[in-house]
């Protein structure tokens, strides 16, 4: 039997992303939706995005709950096409299994599907009221069709992403209810993780945790005898330190991506670091003079340094590359016809690195405009995957945090990162005498596989010289 149910798989929302956290649904079961209508908000490792539907029709199943982390390529939403009868819960579940195996519905965002003439308004389906069952010890009545449908849809909506976990047989569901078996904790032995009768019978016959040895007995907190000191296994107490645990924060979203990226960078890249102190007085004075004459169009100091960096990368293109491993297992250094300059921006969601595309073509004023625009975008959580994942070199201004220097970790898969410390008054030898100058520290961390120290030092010295004598490089501002 061919069913009209369409299952939309969660697509890759960025450059190689494998998962996304579901923030909230914008539609509900029973709603009528149109092609490209936003159906949910999800948070990837890079940004918060709205996911549009490639199908028009009536929503039958939402495969996930807000707060869950969903896998790319797994079912996201099931839709009955416009004009087709909405399948009953049993048929919807069966069709879902068939189409999941076939891989149907895996349509990329923005492409849509033919037949997008669905209704544009949201129409919430009515929910049938189910009378409570009497608890008088008699044989429970046969569930109504409405009860079955509600039961099945609940099971499908609360299943674990990436696993079928659905129970199709009414007998199995009733057996689980009568014996108090939590189906969410049962591992299905059937095809695609289908929970079978034997699985529920095994759960019923398995000894309860309380029947285990004395060491495994868990007594409710209210029933425990008072103890002068907490035991190492007490809830909320760390067994190693003996201190109370104040919070547990899941590592997910941006923090999870940053952790994975930094760990991979440190494990794969043989990095080295060079640094130099720089007299930035001339650059600071130049900007101050420009600000007096035109306060609204004067670039920030970071834009000046970004302009020096792009000029330096043109002279030392080895630092604007990427190392890739071929299918045969050999490595290649990939060079680029242009520079996408990333810069670190601190946000409420963590450290983000948006990139200025074709930064080598921009003047200092244009770079300043892009820095301001991208900073606002990432702080609002609206940056696109292209704006966050396309950098070829990163500039990190950690001086805004009031620190002098740092050996930064390379933003994998790039091969170098330049850090800029705070600009502060320091004694400096100038023309044979001491003077108070505006001094900053530049730190370059680079991948030793793509170049040697001479290239890294040459680039760093070029940027330092440009900061000390900015006029020539900033001729176009």
pLDDT at 239: 85
Cα separation, 410 vs 392, whole angstroms: 11
Mean pLDDT, rounded, for 188-193: 61
Residue 167: pLDDT above 70? no
Beta carbons within 8 Å of 240's beta carbon, 6+ residues apart:
none
Burial category of 218 from C-beta neighbours within 10 Å (exposed 0-12, middle 13-18, buried 19 and up): exposed
Residue 208: pLDDT above 60? no
Q: Where are the alpha helices (DSSP H) in 24-180?
A: 89-102, 145-157, 170-178
Both structure tokens of 132: 């409570």
Residue 442: pLDDT above 80? yes
pLDDT at 169: 57
Q: Which domains does the chain have, with CATH numbers?
A: 6-127+141-166 (2.40.50.100), 255-476 (3.30.559.10)
Q: Which of 56, 91, 51 is nearest to 75 (CA)?
A: 51
For the segment 236-247, what is each residue's pLDDT rounded down to a tens digit? Answer: 888 888 898 888
Beta carbons within 8 Å of 106's beta carbon, 6+ residues apart:
8, 9, 11, 73
For the segment 90-149, what is each residue's pLDDT rounded down to a tens digit? Answer: 555 555 445 444 443 333 333 333 333 333 333 334 333 344 444 444 444 555 555 555
Parallel, antiparallel or unpaired: strands 57-62 and 75-81 = antiparallel
For the segment 288-327, what is each residue's pLDDT rounded down to a tens digit? Answer: 999 998 888 899 999 999 999 999 999 999 999 999 988 8
Phi-psi domain of 4 (left: phi exceeds 0; alpha: psi -120 through 50; beta: other):
alpha
Parallel, antiparallel or unpaired: strands 393-396 and 341-343 = parallel
* Ramachandran angles phi, psi of 55, nearest 5°: -120, 155
- Provide the mean pLDDT of the chain: 77
Residue 371: pLDDT above 60? yes
Beta carbons within 8 Å of 339's beta carbon, 6+ residues apart:
310, 313, 314, 320, 358, 359, 360, 392, 393
pLDDT at 105: 37
Q: Which of 391, 393, 378, 308 is nearest to 347 (CA)?
A: 378
How far, CA to CA in Å, does 170 sit from each of 89, 142, 145, 166? 11, 10, 11, 11
Beta strand extents in 271-414 (DSSP E only)? 271-279, 321-325, 331-335, 341-343, 345-347, 350-352, 355-356, 393-396
- The length of the chain is 477
To the nearest whole percent, how much of the chain has pLDDT over 70? 70
Q: Which of 423, 404, 419, 402 is nearest to 460 (CA)?
A: 419
Confidence of residue 230 (pLDDT cuts 50, 70, 90): very low
Which residue reads 């640094």 in tokens?
275
Residue 448 annotated to the active site: yes
pTM recorded for the entire structure: 0.57
From 179, 187, 358, 448, the catalytic residue? 448
Maximum average pLDDT range among 177-191, 235-249, 430-444: 430-444
Residue 369: pLDDT above 50? yes
Residue 207: pLDDT above 90? no
Confidence of residue 354 (pLDDT cuts 50, 70, 90): very high
Cα separation, 262 vs 25, whole angstroms: 32
- Find the helix packing angle between 301-315 and 453-468, rounded to 10°: 140
Residue 427: pLDDT above 60? yes
């Amino acid at each position: 039997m061919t069913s009209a149910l369409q299952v939309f798989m969660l697509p890759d929302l960025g450059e190689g992303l494998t998962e996304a956290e579901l923030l909230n649904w914008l539609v509900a079961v029973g709603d009528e939706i149109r092609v490209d209508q936003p159906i949910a908000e999800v948070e990837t490792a890079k940004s918060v995005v709205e996911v549009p539907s490639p199908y028009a029709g009536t929503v039958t199943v939402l495969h996930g709950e807000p707060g869950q982390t969903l896998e790319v390529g797994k079912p996201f939403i099931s839709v009955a096409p416009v004009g087709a009868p909405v399948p009953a819960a049993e048929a919807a579940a069966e069709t879902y299994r068939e189409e999941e195996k076939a891989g149907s519905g895996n349509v990329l965002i923005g492409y849509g599907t033919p037949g997008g003439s669905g209704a544009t308004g949201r129409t919430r389906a009515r929910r049938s009221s189910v009378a409570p069952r009497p608890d008088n010890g008699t044989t429970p009545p046969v569930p109504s069709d409405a009860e079955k449908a509600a039961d099945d849809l609940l099971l499908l909506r609360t299943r674990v992403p990436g696993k079928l976990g659905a129970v199709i047989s009414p007998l199995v569901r009733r057996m689980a209810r009568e014996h108090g078996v939590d189906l969410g904790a049962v591992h299905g032995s059937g095809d695609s993780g289908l929970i079978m009768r034997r699985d529920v019978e095994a759960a019923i016959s398995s000894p309860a945790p309380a029947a285990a040895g004395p060491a495994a007995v868990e007594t409710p907190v209210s029933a425990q005898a008072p103890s002068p000191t907490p035991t190492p296994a007490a809830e909320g107490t760390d067994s190693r330190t003996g201190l109370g645990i104040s919070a547990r924060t899941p590592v997910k979203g941006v923090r999870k991506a940053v952790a994975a990226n930094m760990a991979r960078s440190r494990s794969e890249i043989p990095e080295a670091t060079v640094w130099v102190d720089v007299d930035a007085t001339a650059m600071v004075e130049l900007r101050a003079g420009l600000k007096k004459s035109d306060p609204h169009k004067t670039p920030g100091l970071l834009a000046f340094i970004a302009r020096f960096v792009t000029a330096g990368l043109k002279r030392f293109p080895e630092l604007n590359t990427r190392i890739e491993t071929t299918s045969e297992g050999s490595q290649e250094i990939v060079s680029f016809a242009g520079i996408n300059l990333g810069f670190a921006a601190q946000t409420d969601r963590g450290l983000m690195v948006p990139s200025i595309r074709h930064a080598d073509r921009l003047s200092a004023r244009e770079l300043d405009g892009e820095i301001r625009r991208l900073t606002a975008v990432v702080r609002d959580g609206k940056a696109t995957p292209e704006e966050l994942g396309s950098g070829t070199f990163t500039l990190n201004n950690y001086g805004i945090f009031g620190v002098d220097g740092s050996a930064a970790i390379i933003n994998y898969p790039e091969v170098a990162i330049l850090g800029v410390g705070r600009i502060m008054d320091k004694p400096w030898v100038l023309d044979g005498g001491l003077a108070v100058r505006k001094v900053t520290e530049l730190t370059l961390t680079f991948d030793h596989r793509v170049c040697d120290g001479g290239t890294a030092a040459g680039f760093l010295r070029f940027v330092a010289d440009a900061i000390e004598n900015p006029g020539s490089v900033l001729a176009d501002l």
